[in-house]
Structures are given as structure tokens and as C-alpha cells.
Structure 1
Amino acid sequence: MILKEKIYFTPAQSERGLHIYLPDDYQTSDKRYPVMYYFDGHNLFFDSDATYGKSWGLKTFLDHYNKEFIVVGLECSHVGNERLVEYCPYHYQGKFWGDLHGRGKETLDWMVNTLKPMIDARFPTYAHREATGLCGSSMGGLMALYGVIAHNDIFSKAGCLSSAIGPGIKNLCADIEGHAIDANTRVYLSIGEKEASSLPVKNIYATVMARSAKKVTKLLEEKGVETAIYIQKNGKHCEADWEKQNKLYFDYLWCNKKSF
């Protein structure tokens, strides 16, 4: 079942939507469930809720997957460039994002200190780090990666699809080197062959993404972290192609199975 509700998002002093997937029998069974926290929660389950009319189809996938989960999707702001601000953990000045004062660190702090305790109190979760992961795409993928680095005592897994890590690569690398990261951590990164396919520099863009992903995985692996990079053939920067990866990253993060 999908539960939709509002929650007060302190960093922006406004409400945000929550889209929560719950196993159908969660109220009648004595089971507990691992939890995945997603960014852009409105894009996860139903095409009717998705920004561009296509979701990740995650409800259909989870209904038939061989493990049961609770999924918590945090909706972003839909006003101007507020999503970019909320989902960037760094201050940045350059051609790619302009002059951006990111508040992603505040977003992650709020998730750790407010959202996760609320979810653990209301629902039958496994609350320990080994049963808690993050996932997102584009800026959400950047946030998932940052979150598993900066809050590694809380999150042990990150699915980072088509992640916007290039412009912040120096900061990310510094964070990896500066944080204690448990070797019992798994990170999945993906890149589509046709990222930014509408741009004349599309091949350069995908190349930069791949180069940044390799830098990140090298540093993580030096700390004992298990990583995987998936290059999606003909993959574009869109929900339809991220949907195709649902089984790949769930298998890798939760079943220790690399099916690509």
C-alpha cells in the first residue's frame, strides 16, 4: 500500500509530501522491515504523481520482489530552483549550477534527526544501519551518495542513479577522505550512455559522469567499501530508464548479487 501525507520540513519552514510504501500485511504480521529512503518521492510509484508523467514503477516492482521493504520517498520543493538548493550539499560557483548555496546538508540532517526517528516510531522497521539505505537520481543521487558518506553511522547502502556528482566532485572526494566509513557499506552508481541526450555535448557529459564515478569508487574502495558502476546501454536521464534498474540496484545493495 502507498500512504501519502505531509510533514513539516524544518530547513525550508514549509511542508513536504511523503510517499510511503508499506507491505500490505504490515499491520497484521509480526514482521519488521528494512527501509530505503528516496529523494523525489513523488516520482516513485504512480505516473499520475510524477513530474514528467512517468514514475519509477517502484510499487509494482516491490510488490513482486523477493524481499519486503518499507520505502519512504521525500518530495522535493516544486518552486523555482528550490529543489536544486535542497538537494545540493555544497556551495558551488561555476558554469554548471551558477552561484548555488546548497542546503543539502541541512536536508540530510533533518532526515536523520526528524524523519527517520518518526518512521522508526510509527512503523515496524529494522532501525539499525545495516537495514537502512538511501536512493535517488540526478541531484537525488548526489544526495544519496553524500548521505551514505556523511551519515555512515545511519545508512549502509546507497543507490545513486545518473547522479549529478561532477560539479561537486572535489567536495565529495574530500568528504570521503575526511569521514570514517564502515567497510560494511555498499554503493551502486549508474550512468546512462545517452545522459543529456538533447544536448550537443551529450557524449562529453556522460564521459564526465563516468570519470567522476570512477574517482568516487576508487576512494571508497580504498576504505573497504563495496561499489559497482553500471553503464546503462542507451540509457537516458529519465524515470523510464531508472525504472529498468530497480532490480539491479536492489539485488546489489540488499542481496549481495551483481546481476549486470
Structure 2
Amino acid sequence: MFEQFAFYFPAKDVDKQIHLYLPDNYEESKEHFPVVYMYDGHNLFFDEDATYGTSWGLLDFMDSYDKQVIIVGIECSHEEGERIREYCPYPVDTQYFGHVAGYGDVYMDWLVNELKPFIDDNYPTIPDREATAIAGSSMGGLMAFYSVIAHNDVFSKAGALSPAFGFAVPELEAEIAQHEIDPDTRVFFSYGDEEVNFERLKPTATFNDAIIEAGGETHVHIEEGGDHSEATWRKQNRLYMDFLWK
């Protein structure tokens, strides 16, 4: 099943469109399900909604996947430059974008303290940390990793696909130093082999090591023939889902 609805984001006085996947039998089964919160919700399910005409194909994938989970996709802002600010956890100065007045920390406080309780109250979720994951790509991948560090009491799993770590490497290193990471933490990192280089892999190796040193589990995947696109992330649906949940 698939639902869409608007949910108010007070920090910007706007409604965020929520793209919600539910297992088909959830009403009849009376079961409760794990949840994956995902960034760029409009790119997840339908090609006609996706920014560049290709989605992650998650509706078809989840309908055939042998692990039943709820997916909460949160659509990003489409105003010029706003997605970068909303998906950057900190105010930062960058080489290519100049100063980015990032407010991803505020966004995540809203997700954790307002959106998640609403989802837990209105849908058959398992609200516990062990059954709550977060995932995204590019800036959403950056945010997914930030989320599992800064809110490790809420999220036990993260999928960071093609994460844009270059925006905030020292800030993320400081974030990791400030938090105790639960050993029951799993993080999936990935890049396409056509986009990856040493500059991208160096911070990924640092963050990967930090999770392992805390006793957590990680997986770094390089997608052969992959680039920085939904088509590449779509190919990895089973990989990151299997690693996070199995």
C-alpha cells in the first residue's frame, strides 16, 4: 500500500510531503513493522515523481522483498538551493557552494520529535531503536550518517549511499567524538565506481573505522558501472536492505 500526506515543518512554516509505503497486509495481519525513514521521498517509488525521471523503484522492490518494513519517505524542498541547506547538518563554508546555512540539525529534531511520534501513533510500527533505520543518497546520505550518530538513541541502522561527506568532514568527526555509539549500530556506505575517488573514500574510511571501533558493523560497497544517480541507487535496494535488516 502507498499513501501520501502533508506534515507541517514549523522551522520553515511549510508542509512536507510524506511518501509512505505500508505492507499490503498490515491491516489484516495486526502485525507491527520496522521502519526506514528516507530522504528525497519523491524519488523513491514512482518514476513520474522523481526529479530526473528515474526512481529507486522501491514500491515494486518492497512488494517482492521477504522482509516487511514501513518506509517513510520525506520529500525535500524544491526551492533553489534549499535542499542543500536542509540536508546539511551544520552551517559550513564550502569550496563550490560558498557559505551554506545548513539547518539539518533542526530538520532532524523535527523528524525525531514530531514526525516519528506521529508515524508511531498512527501506523503499526515497532517504535524501538532496534527497529528504526534511516537512509538517503548524496546530501541525503550525508544526513543519514549524521542522523545515526547524533540520534543514535533513535536509529540503530543507516544507509548512506553516495554520501556527500565533503560538506562537513571536520564537523562530523567532532559529532562522532561527542556521542557514545551503541555497538548495535549498522551503517551501509556505497558509491558508484564512476563517481568514487580518494577524496570521497578517505572520510568514508574514517567514519567506517569509527563505527567499527564502537563495536558496530559496516559495509562499504562499490557499484560496478555505477554513477551518482537514482538508477545506480536502485540497483542496491537488496544490498542495503539485507545488510541493515539481516
- CA apart distance, 1:96: 3.0
Counterparts of 1:121 and 1:254, CA distance in 2: 23
What amino acid does structure 2 have at the position aligned with 1:111?
L
Counterparts of 2:14 and 2:233, CA distance in 1: 29
Counterparts of 1:207 and 1:130, CA distance in 2: 33
What amino acid does structure 2 have at the position aligned with 1:166?
G
CA contact (8 A) 2:21 2:70 kept: yes
Query: Would you say 1:224 and 2:234 are equivalent positions?
Result: no
- CA apart distance, 1:94: 2.5
Which residue pairs with 1:176 in the alignment?
A: 176
CA contact (8 A) 1:39 1:135 kept: yes
Counterparts of 1:44 and 1:248, CA distance in 2: 16
Which residue pairs with 2:242 in the alignment?
A: 251
Partner of 1:217, secondary structure, is helix
Query: Would you say 1:211 and 2:209 are equivalent positions?
Result: no
Which residue pairs with 2:4 in the alignment?
A: 4
TM-score normalised according to structure 2 size: 0.98
Which residue pairs with 1:194 in the alignment?
A: 194
Question: Considering only aligned residues, what root-mean-square deviation do their CA atoms show, in Å?
Answer: 0.9
What amino acid does structure 2 have at the position aligned with 1:55?
S
Counterparts of 1:98 and 1:247, CA distance in 2: 37
CA contact (8 A) 2:185 2:211 kept: no
Which residue pairs with 1:33 in the alignment?
A: 33
Partner of 1:12, secondary structure, is coil
- CA apart distance, 1:167: 2.7
TM-score normalised according to structure 1 size: 0.93
Unaligned runs of 5+ in 1: 196-204, 256-260
Alignment of 1:1-260 (within 5 A): 1-195=1-195, 206-255=197-246
Counterparts of 1:86 and 1:167, CA distance in 2: 13
Count of residues in correspondence between the two structures: 246
What amino acid does structure 2 have at the position aligned with 1:232?
E
What amino acid does structure 1 have at the position aligned with 2:184?
N
> Which stretch of structure 1 is more off in the superposition, 110-119 or 165-174?
165-174
- CA apart distance, 1:185: 0.3
Counterparts of 2:94 and 2:155, CA distance in 1: 31
- CA apart distance, 1:98: 1.1
CA contact (8 A) 1:173 1:219 kept: no
CA contact (8 A) 1:96 1:167 kept: no
What amino acid does structure 2 have at the position aligned with 1:180?
E
CA contact (8 A) 2:148 2:155 kept: yes
What amino acid does structure 2 have at the position aligned with 1:21?
Y
Partner of 1:133, secondary structure, is strand
Q: Deviations over 1:134-164 (max 9, x none)?
A: 0000000001000000000000000000000
Q: Deviations over 1:100-128 (max 9, x none)?
A: 11000001000000000000000010000
Segments of 4+ in structure 1 off by > 3 A? none
Which residue pairs with 1:258 in the alignment?
A: none
Unaligned runs of 5+ in 2: none
Partner of 1:166, secondary structure, is helix
